[in-house]
Chain A
Amino acid sequence: MEGILAEIVAKYNYWLYVVLMMIGFYAMIGKRNLVKKLLGMNIFQTAIILFFVSTGVKRGGGIPILDKYKVLEHGVDVAQVVNPLPHVLMLTAIVVAVSITGVALAILQRIYREYGTLEEDEILEKVGE
Chain B
Amino acid sequence: MKRLQERAQNRPTGESPIIRMAVRVMIPFIQLFGLYVIVHGHYSPGGGFQGGVILGASFILMALAFDLKTTTDYFSEKANAILGNAGALIFTGLGALTAILGGLWLDYSALDRIIPLGPIEWRSMGIFLVEVGVGLAVMSIMVSLYWDLASGGDMDEGL
Contacts and interface: CB of A to CB of B under 8 A. Distances in A.
Query: Do A and B contact each other directly (Cβ–Cβ < 8 Å)?
Result: yes
Given A91-B49, A109-B152, A65 B43 contact: yes
Contact of B138 (A63, A95, A113): A95
A99 interface: yes
A106 interface: yes
Interface in B128-150: 138, 141-142, 145, 148-149
B49 A106 contact: no
Give the one of A95, A99, A106 with max B CB within 10 A: A95
A56 interface: no
A68 B142 CA distance: 34
Contact of B45 (A65, A102, A106): A65
Given A65-B43, A109-B149, A113-B152, A99 B141 contact: yes
Interface of B: 43-45, 47, 49, 138, 141-142, 145, 148-149, 152-153
Interface of A: 63, 65, 91, 94-95, 98-99, 102, 105-106, 109, 113
